[in-house]
Amino acid sequence: MQQAVFFSACFLAVLWVLCGSFVEEAAAQSGTNERGGGDLVSLAFPTDNDAVLNGRPEYFYMGLDRLIAGRREWSWEGGTYGYNRNARATPAGWRFTRFHEGVDIAPIYRDGNGEPLDEVRTVDNGRVVYVNRSASRSDYGRYVVVEHLWEGSAFLTLYAHLAETTVRVGEHVRRGQQLGVLGYSGNGLDRDRAHLHFEINLMLNEHYDLWQEERRPRWSSRHGRYHGFNLAGVSPIELITYNFRRPRASILAMLSSERADVTAFVPAGPPPNLLERHPWLCRSCNGDPPPDWAWSWEVGFTRAGRPVSIEPSDLHIASIELGRIDALVRADYLHSRILTRRGPGSTLNSTARLLLSVIFTRPEQVPNW
């Protein structure tokens, strides 16, 4: 009898461990974990190329020729995220003034004719929200956009310059599922520079169509709210490698710790749509919903124009006002999409005002700032 009880107890213990492992694995597959129901983010690389993890960025990024001091130089840095194109001579040396909002990932498989063969896959579970199948309708060529819910916050991944697409809008995809084949569709590319242009974005406003119709009717409306001006990119490989090395770390904690390079104040009104999708941008809210109305809103931007904070303010203003400028940005305004010039007298340029207008467009009103 005692032996039977002992073996029964052992069997139940083993069953408990196995069930626990099964539940943990199921949680990982379904995207939930012990953090109060938040999504367990486990990001994969979008192709088989992960050379950046092994300290070989020159094999990971598809570079390009950059004109510097009258000479063209091939550089893999041209495929990275950030200011890396359009060199300009300044008293402080050469500066790159064009911002690249994604990364260009080089192929690692080609057929006998040099055609790329790499599969392009979704980095996480999500839903396909946009597919452009026409190579000529966008600078991105053929591209796919997938929406993900990460820790309760909606993000978009974009996969561009595809040779072909293999998914449709509305389709739910699993981490690692094929979306298409790497290619060179779009403007200015050839077979030698075939690559995947990959982005991780925040959508500025779900009502972008209204803003575009009112403020920029000549802009192409083919892509709706998935127009590039309505997508603000984070550093995609930094995010993936951060998550790869810390699989249970919070991505939102990483993003919400970013410091604003420039801040701007926007006149009184209700909170922007962006806070509905990304409530963590309001740090003073401490997890609570933002107020329904504020005398003004202080928006913090990176130098590239991506919002990193949106806070209610008691400042009474009638129009947009410039707030704080980081000293390094003030000294090197060429590395900023949103300032007019260096040093004293700098103010928000037209791009910054357009971005703020997009962010604060509401169904009943398009701001005319």
pLDDT tens per residue across span 313-352: 999 999 999 999 998 887 776 668 898 876 677 899 999 9
pLDDT tens digits, residue range 51-61? 999 999 999 99
CA distance 82 to 79: 9
Check whether 25 has a pLDDT greater than 70. Answer: no
Look at residue 6 in the predicted model and tell me its pLDDT.
42
User: Higher-confidence residue: 251 or 202?
Assistant: 202
Where in the chain are all domains bearing CATH 2.70.70.10?
35-257
User: Domain spanning 35-257: which CATH class is it, in words?
Assistant: mainly beta
Mean pLDDT of the region 95-122? 94
SS3 184: coil
Check whether 84 has a pLDDT greater than 90. Answer: no
Look at residue 300 in the predicted model and tell me its pLDDT.
97
Q: Which of 67-71, 227-231, 313-317, 318-322 has the lowest mean pLDDT?
A: 67-71
Q: How many distinct helices (H) and strands (E) make up the chain?
A: 8, 17
User: Higher-confidence residue: 292 or 29?
Assistant: 292
From 155, 290, 309, select the one nearest 234 (Cα to Cα): 155
Label residue 217 by pLDDT band (50, 70, 90).
Answer: confident
